[in-house]
Structure 1
Amino acid sequence: MVSSQPRYELIQEVGRGSYGVVYEAAVRRTGARVAVKKIRCHAPENVELALREFWALSSIQSQHPNVIHLEDCVLQRDGLAQRMQHGCGSSLYLELVETSLKGEIAFDQRCAYYLWFVMDFCDGGDMNAYLLSRKPSRKTNTSFMLQLGSALAFLHKNQIIHRDLKPDNILIAQGCSPAGSPEPTLKVADFGLSKVCSASGLSPGEPVSVNKCFLSMACGTDFYMAPEVWEGHYTAKADIFALGVIIWAMLERITFVDAETQKELLGSYVQQGSEIVPLGEALLGNPRMELPIPARKKTMNPSMRQLLREMLSANPQERPDAFELELRLVKIACREWDWGT
């Protein structure tokens, strides 16, 4: 169904990158706040990233509090807009799919094509900005670990490998407890590099498992990439490694300055002389390297230290899967142990 009447009113721009522009918006009918990501489909790589995100989020049949929810997807051509759904057979949608598959524009370039993603509005920024603007907190660390573990288990249960987990791609929705204290909710977002696994290649009747889905395209962000990703042969265990980098950096406030943006970022690394090297790259060159976990004394108990060592193992088979990880994080959080304050 094609319409020229917009359902959403843009309020203000809240983010911009090479991939697209994000706005705070309101649903015209209800006034509810949403986030709207506008992606210009002027290049095959933009179309591919947008479709990957659409396919991943629209394949999820239920919602999870710690995974961004795709409320609506609208495909715009010039002044007309068409809602897009998973498995949609419209000619406009099929032109985008063809563009992604062929690596060249397959539609009339005289027309302006845009994809609009309508998602949860997160008013607390990303995990990086949120944590680095506040003092370290044991309560926040514990809460964020549990939320991240739950989100990743949910994604892997739904056969989705994220492939670009990092603090910049984890958003914060601010809220308050019944007592009035801050109670932030994490939302894993940015699924442009994600992969939805299928049963193809598996034995008939064998259930789909992200840990049996082998991928060969090296992608992600250097400081969070597992050793095997650098070589281009990996499974969902690469997400476990990335989460290990994030949690270690969060617990000990390990940061580095991005060379391109000069922005301070949470992330674990290895110091080699005056250079800092991503953990995955360093472990690829020296799989037996002993990581200094913890980097500071008395910042975590033995159970957490052991879990992080396993998550950051050079051998993906030694890492827990997302379901075991979620259970172990819950057990650790339920014990009395000293994070520091």
Structure 2
Amino acid sequence: MEELYTLEREVGRGSYGVVFEGRMAKTGQKVAIKRLPCSNPECIELYLQELWAMRATAKNHVNVIALHSCLQQTGPRSLKPLKPGKLPLRLVESVLKGSVVRAPQSEETNNVQSDTKRRTNSASRLQDRTNTVQARAKLQEKSNSDSTTPQRPSNRARKRPAQSEEEQPGPLRCLALWLVMEYCDGGDLNQYLLSRPPDGQRNHSVVRQLCSAVSFLHSLGITHRDLKPDNVLVCVTPKGPVVKVADFGLSKMSEGAMDGHLTRQHFSSTCGSDFYMAPEVWGGLTYTAQADIFSLGVMFWAVLERITFLEEGTSQEQLGAYVCRGRWLMPLGEALWENADLQLCIPMKFKRAPPLPPPPGPAMCSLLSDMLASDPDARPPADQLEARLRSALKEDSR
């Protein structure tokens, strides 16, 4: 293994995996290490999409989270790095067949012998630290070949403790992928902005960086499909926050984007988060990368006016714009799907959370209206959005 890592603590847990704060053993540099358990084909497909998208971005944009390496776990203490540009063929086969594929018996024997010889202290340390962190946090996830994703505790409760990989008669398979990424010390965009007093210059910097990131992703043919403040991480620097678009599990890559035709690629899967989904996604129609522009518009509006909401069943304040329906909050996309002629009140004025930053000026309000248009073709494409944003902010500052 070229680089050795140790785990420090758990910093996040989602529907598909767990994120730890870790360090490179040689340099001491902080990294984020995301464990993705390969328990079923549906999850594996999302993991491969995320890996492929993050490799495509390389480390070429300051506002997109950087991937350092990817490790494949085939046993309790067996980890090996994946070669750049390669995907684990057995995981690809699992996605295509719709069931988790195990290695042939003959290959298993060779793998066990090879893994035994190659097992290094780094793999031991990584797994041991994982077990320690998980025990301290009272986690229920088991690091064995029968473990399930963190969202299925009922299945885990029925599992008996598994034997070690060497003792199991069954063939080897990939237990998990470990993505080693750059570490962001400012939390997500919700946490960072809402824990500080409003600042107009900071808000403008954030929206410019988000715009640059999405323009870069679309230029590579990557449609994110789940843009929201939770999926934007923040690095705190002396010069101000540096935001990083992250979480590419729902992303899609398209060919032909470099020549400006990304909006011709249509998708059909309804995915994303309610308060940021475009109306065409809400309606179950086919959609294009312009759905990302709508999500970005919701985020821009919320950041610039500090608009927040509490999602049903939660107590955590979140950034996001909405439409009021009596006592209920309706996502913008849903409201526009029901009424394409709905006129949004930009700025939102009295619905903003105190303390309040100055509302966006006329030029920025006009741009937000275009980004949030019910017609996807009326929204500015990403390659034009940066110039329009700079122009609007400059015009409103006069």
Length-normalised TM-score, structure 1: 0.89
Name stretches of at least 5 consecutive residues in structure 2 with no aligned partner: 104-144, 146-169, 351-357
Deviation at residue 105 of structure 1 after TM alignment: 1.3
CA distance in 1, matches of 2:386, 2:366: 15
Question: What secondary structure is seen at the aligned counterpart in 1 of 2:72?
Answer: strand
Could you tell me how far apart the structure 1 residues matched to 2:96 and 2:275 are? 29
- Does the alignment pair 1:211 with 2:208? no
Aligned partners of 2:337 and 2:63: how far apart in 1?
31
Give distance in 2, aligned partners of 1:80 and 1:299: 54
- Determine if the alignment matches structure 1 residue 251 to structure 2 residue 318: no
Equivalent residue, structure 2, for 1:221: 273
Matched AA of 1:66: N
1:206-263 per-position Cα deviation (integer Å, ceiling 9, x unaligned): 9463211111111111110001112231111000000000111111111111223332
Which residue of 273, 295, 300 corresponds with 2:360?
A: 300
> Tell me, what secondary structure is at the counterpart of 1:320?
coil
Confirm or deny: 8 A CA contact 1:159 1:209 kept in the other structure.
no
Q: Runs of at least 4 residues of structure 1 off by over 6 A? A: none
Structure 2 letter corresponding to 1:95: R
Separation (CA, whole Å) in 2 of partners of 1:295 and 1:173: 29
Task: From the superposition, tell whether residues 268 and 336 of structure 1 become closer, same or farther in structure 2 (CA, over 3 Å).
Answer: closer
**SS in structure 2 opposite 1:25?**
strand
Residue in 2 aligned with 1:105? Answer: 100
SS at match of 1:95: helix
Structure 1 residues 84-117: Cα deviation after superposition (integer angstroms, max 9, x where no partner): 245426xxx1111122233321226655611000
> Which has more helix, going by share of residues?
2
Matching of residue 44 in structure 1 with residue 41 in structure 2: yes
1:279 alignment partner in structure 2: 332
More displaced, 301-310 or 255-264? Answer: 255-264
Q: For residues 121 and 331 of structure 1, do their structure 2 counterparts lie closer, same or farther at Cα, with a shift above 3 Å needed?
A: same
CA shift in 2, pair 1:336/1:315, >3 Å: closer
Tell me the amino acid that sits aligned with residue 194 of structure 2: L
Structure 1's 295 and 190: CA in aligned 2 closer, same or farther, altered over 3 A?
same
**What's the counterpart of residue 381 of structure 2?**
321
Cα deviations by residue, 1:51-87 (Å, 9 ceiling, x for unpaired): 1100111122551000001110111100222222454
Name the SS for the 1:53 alignment partner: helix
| Deviation, structure 1 residue 316 | 0.5
Equivalent residue runs for 1:1-341 within 5 Å = 7-78=4-75, 79-88=77-86, 93-107=88-102, 111=172, 113-177=175-239, 183-199=240-256, 207=259, 209-230=261-282, 231-296=284-349, 299-335=359-395, 337=397
CA contact (8 A) 1:146 1:329 kept: yes
Aligned residue pairs: how many?
Answer: 322
Separation in 1 of the partners of 2:63 and 2:319? 20
Cα distance in structure 1, aligned partners of 2:241 and 2:306: 18
Q: Distance in 1 between matches of 2:229 and 2:54?
A: 19
Which residue does the alignment assign to 2:153? none
- Of the structure 1 ranges 168-177 and 40-49, higher mean CA displacement relative to structure 2 is found in 40-49
Larger mean CA deviation between 239-248 and 294-303 belongs to 294-303
Q: Is the 8 A contact 1:197 1:208 kept in 2?
A: no
Residue pair 2:219, 2:260 contacting (<8 A) in 1 also:
no
| Residue segments in structure 1 that go unaligned for 5+ positions in a row | 178-182
Partner Cα distance (2:339, 2:84) in 1: 43
Instruction: Determine which structure has more spread, i.e. the larger CA radius of gyration.
Output: 2
TM-score calculated relative to the size of structure 2: 0.77
Q: Deviations over 1:273-318 (max 9, x none)?
A: 2211111111011000000111118612111010000000000010
Q: What's the offset of the Cα at 1:337? A: 2.7
Q: Percent identity?
A: 46
DSSP 3-state at the match of 2:349: coil
